[in-house]
Every structure is written in structure tokens, then in C-alpha cells.
Chain A
Amino acid sequence: MSDIKIAPDDIKPDMTIDCKGLSCPMPLLKTKKAIQKLQPGQILEVLGTDPGSRNDIPGWCERAGHEYLGEKQDQGFIRFYVKKGQ
């Protein structure tokens, strides 16, 4: 049973992708594609509405060697933050 990780307040993303309204597996696929364009250490912000992303994104980060920084609740969507690994 997973706990939700809340992102720190002072995150400045280098890129933002819009996955609002999309359902599994599209948010994760778009995240996977977007992170290819970033340099290690840069931060990707994913805007989403699918509760499944709460499992998918952290799980994938761990597997793919990226750092999952957490999420922030916004008006009607969630912001997820991923720091690209080496």
C-alpha cells in the first residue's frame, strides 16, 4: 500500500508536458518520450489527471534510474516531477 510523496515547493522544471485527461498508458509513454530530450539532472514536470500515474510514474522512475521528486495537487490536476538520472 503506497504512500503519496509530496514534491518540495521550490522545484523549477526544465520542461512541462500536458497529459491531462489521458488514461493509462499514455501519460507514462509521453513521460518516457519527453525525458529522452532532457539532460541528466534536469527536471520534467508532468501534468496529469489519471490516478494510475501515482503508481506508474514513481515505479517507472525507479526502474529506469530517474529520481521521482513527488507530486503537487493543483486545481483539477496533479503535477508530477521527475529528475532525469545519468
Chain B
Amino acid sequence: MSALKRTYENLCTKHWSPMLGGILLAFLVVLLEAWYRPWGIVGGLRNWADWLFYHLGLYDEPPTFHPIFSSTSSILDIGLIWGAFISAALGREFGIRVPPKIEFIKAVVAGILMGIGASLAMGCNVGGFYMAVNNLAANGFIMLIGLIFGVILAIKYLYWELEHFPSSGGFEISFQKINPFLGVIALIGLLVATKAYFGSDLDRGEILGGCLILAAGIGYVMHRSRFCMVNALREPFMTGDAEMGKALTVSLILSAVGIAILKYNGIRPESAYVTPTFIQGALIGGFIFGFGMTVAGGCGSGSLWRVAEGQIKLVIVAIVFALTNSLIRHFFAEHEVIENGYLGKAIFMPEYLGYAGTILLIALVVLVWYIVIDWNEDSNKLVLEM
């Protein structure tokens, strides 16, 4: 009996290390891309907002794909939230968390900035940075540069806010007692929904079912390890802690090798997730998104798994992020901003460096990054004074 209890604790209640989270995330995004497509976040959120705006009469055309019956982007987000909810509930960590008032204002502003940033970079930190790097697109590292400067500026803002607008008075509505019960129901629901997709008459039923359950795996892993790219990029400048940053570097190189194999063998098109945002779109978008996500306290993926945990601030962030991104991408489409190349060029690195050269370049960048944050962990040279 104690072995059973221990196993439950290890799988469902204890926090996993960021490194375990990063390695499992790399494994799952390679599986997902092998299954059908690269992982993404903002596309699904935008799909929901497009759908809403169409039904409100703001857009003339409905979105190409239906949120439930045909959009894989939408299914990836639903899966992520679903998986993260299972993790939160089984671990007794789900509860409605209502923040102090100022956090509501920050959530709206941060959501707008994230929507703008993810439009310019044609993806949030997931599609525009993490999945862009491991899909061997040059815009990925450019967005990283933008993100870092956005994060630094946001930390300075947060320090300033702490001096001038100290806040308190938030609360949590806890469901601790029924949490595991909710978790089991959600898990059964996930299996039933996946089976329903596989057995359905939909055009791409099996594809959708696979996307749902793999994304749920991503959500579960991210929540259990509290894998957070904001944390990875922020902590070296805030506390010096490098644990999440190191996990992110390992996750990047592992997933890049996996996806390089898929592209090299023609299993996925080389152009997948190589967006025409090199340099200006990725750089400016990254900067704006980096500021927004740090004020929000969650990036594209981090916001969604915190939504599943019941953080009301991140619910608002996700909604405003989705609405803003939809409006701006609608504006871009009307003015053919992307087609005209205003955001930059699409650069698939192996066309210039070969596959081996590209993998070596990514390895070199993450190695330097790893060494710098490790050195900073002792020296605290990069930490911004409060």
C-alpha cells in the first residue's frame, strides 16, 4: 500500500524538477511534430477570438477552422489546459485565486502587449521562440534577444511598482477536499474525448485526437514541474537562480535534434514554423512580448497552465491576449503586412549552414547561455538591484 501511495505522490502531488520538465517537454513536442504539427499556443487562442468576433459581427468571414471540430491549434490549447487541470487537481493545487485589484489592471495591459508582441513575432514565446529555434528558424534566436530586453525592462517596472503601489487583499476559494475527485473525472473525460475523436467521422478525427492527448501530456508535465519560460528568462536578472534557465537550454537542444531529424527525413516540411519575421518582427515583437509576459507572470504556455490552476489574473491575461492578437492579425491580413514582408524574411538556417552546422550553432548558443547563467548564479553579476 505504501508503494502505491508513494507512486501517487511522485506522479501526482510532488513538484517535478524543472530539468525533468524540460526533458519531457522536448520529448513531447518532438512526438507532437512527428504526429502532425509543431506545438503552438497563440494560434488556438486567436482561433477562439476570431470565432467570437465573427459571431459578434465584427468579422465578415468565419475562421477557416472550427475550434472543436477542425482546428488543431485550438485543440492544442484545450489539451494543454485540460492536462494542467488534471495535474493541479490530482495534486490538490486547484483553487480560484483572486488577486489584489492592481493585478487586474496589470493583466489587461500585459495581455494587450502580449497580443501585439505575438502578432509581430508571428507567435508567442512558444511558436516565435522555443518552437522556432527547434524548427531551425533564424527568427527564434532573434525573438530571444527581444524577450531578454523586454524582461529586464519589466523587472525594473515591477521593482518600481513595489515601491509605489504595494498591494494586498487577494484571496483563494479553495476546493482542496474535492480536488482529487475533480482530477479523476477530468482524466476520464480526456480519455473519452480522445477516443471519441479517433472514432469520429470528422475529416481529421484521428489527428485531432492525437493532438488533444499529446497536448494534455504537455500541460501535465508543465504544471507538475511548473516549467515556466518567464521564470527561465527572468530569474538570472531577479534572483540569480538558474535552475529553470538551465532546464530550458537542455529542452531546446534536445527538441532541436529531434525536429531536425523529422525535417531532414522529409517527415515534416522544412518550412514549418519558419516565419517571415527575421529580423524586425521577431526582435520588436519579442521585446514587447517579453515585457508583457513578465508583468503578466506567465508566457503563452505558462499563462494557460496557470489558468488551469485557477489563477484569475492569468485568465484575464489569456482572454485579453487572445482578443488583441486576433484584432491585430486581422488588421495585418487586411493590409497584407506579412505578405509584403514588413515583418522580415523567413530564414531556414540549414539552407545557409546545413543541418549539422545549424545544430552546432544551436548547441553553441545554449552552451554559452548555460555557462553565463551558471556563472551568474555564483557571482550575481546580472542581478538587478532592488
To the question of whether A and B form a pair in one complex, the answer is: yes
User: A: which residues have CB within 8 A of B?
Assistant: 1-3, 17-26, 28-30, 32-33, 36, 49-52, 54-55, 59-60, 63-64, 75-77
Contact of A55 among B167, B173, B226, B311 (CB under 8 A): B226
Which chain B positions have C-beta within 8 A of A28?
238-239
User: B: which residues have CB within 8 A of A?
Assistant: 10, 14-17, 91, 93, 95, 97-100, 103, 158-159, 162, 166-174, 226, 228, 230-231, 234, 238-241, 243, 294, 297-298, 306, 309, 311-314, 377, 386
State how many angstroms separate the Cβ of A85 from the closest Cβ of chain B: 15
19 A-B pairs, CB-CB below 8 angstroms? A2-B14, A2-B17, A3-B14, A21-B98, A22-B167, A22-B170, A23-B97, A23-B103, A24-B298, A25-B230, A32-B239, A33-B162, A50-B97, A55-B15, A59-B241, A60-B241, A76-B95, A76-B173, A76-B174
- Beta-carbon contact of A76 and B172 below 8 Å: yes
For the complex, give the distance between the alpha carbons of A3 and B170 in Å: 27
- Beta-carbon contact of B15 and A1 below 8 Å: yes
Which chain A positions have C-beta within 8 A of B10?
1
Max chain B CB contacts within 10 Å: which of A21, A32, A55?
A21
Given A1-B16, A33-B162, A24 and B239 contact (CB-CB distance below 8 Å): no
- Beta-carbon contact of A29 and B103 below 8 Å: no
For the complex, give the distance between the alpha carbons of A64 and B240 in Å: 9
5 smallest CB-CB distances across A and B, nearest first, come from: A21-B170, A18-B168, A49-B172, A21-B99, A1-B14
Contact of A60 among B95, B226, B239 (CB under 8 A): B239
- Beta-carbon contact of B14 and A23 below 8 Å: no
- Beta-carbon contact of A63 and B226 below 8 Å: no
Additional A-B contacts beyond A24-B298, A25-B231, A33-B162 (6; CB < 8 A): A1-B16, A18-B169, A22-B103, A51-B93, A55-B15, A59-B241
- Beta-carbon contact of B309 and A51 below 8 Å: yes
Quick one: closest B residue to A3, CB to CB?
Answer: B14
- Beta-carbon contact of B239 and A64 below 8 Å: yes
State how many angstroms separate the Cβ of A73 from the closest Cβ of chain B: 9
For the complex, give the distance between the alpha carbons of A38 and B121 in Å: 44
Which chain B positions have C-beta within 8 A of A64?
239
Given A1-B14, A2-B14, A21 and B240 contact (CB-CB distance below 8 Å): no
For the complex, give the distance between the alpha carbons of A21 and B309 in Å: 12
For the complex, give the distance between the alpha carbons of A78 and B313 in Å: 19
State how many angstroms separate the Cβ of B24 from the closest Cβ of chain A: 13
Which chain B positions have C-beta within 8 A of A3?
14
Which chain A positions have C-beta within 8 A of B16?
1
- Beta-carbon contact of A36 and B386 below 8 Å: yes
Which chain B positions have C-beta within 8 A of A51?
15, 91, 93, 226, 309
Which chain B positions have C-beta within 8 A of A55?
15, 226
For the complex, give the distance between the alpha carbons of A18 and B103 in Å: 14
State how many angstroms separate the Cβ of A20 from the closest Cβ of chain B: 5
